[in-house]
């Protein structure tokens, strides 16, 4: 496999929705713990 192809696959794998959801979820938990997400209906 060409190095360029390998690199592209690596990057796309890094940005799968699996990881995106983990980052978003933990980010929102952090914001919540920081008291920024108060009074959500």
In the complex, the residues that contact other proteins under the rule CB under 8 A are: 12-13, 15-22, 24-26, 28-29, 32-33, 35, 37-41
Cα–Cα distance, 9 to 28 (Å, whole number):
28
> Please, are residues 28 and 37 in contact by the beta-carbon 8 Å criterion?
yes
Contact residues for 28 (Cβ-Cβ < 8 A; gap 6+): 37
CB of 36 to other proteins, least distance (A): 10
Nearer to other proteins (CB atom), residue 2 or residue 39: 39
User: Shortest distance, CB of residue 22 to other proteins, whole angstroms?
Assistant: 4
């Amino acid at each position: 496999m060409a190095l360029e192809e390998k690199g592209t696959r690596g990057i796309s794998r890094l940005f799968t929705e699996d990881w995106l959801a983990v980052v978003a979820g933990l980010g929102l938990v952090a914001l919540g713990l920081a008291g920024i997400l108060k009074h959500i209906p």
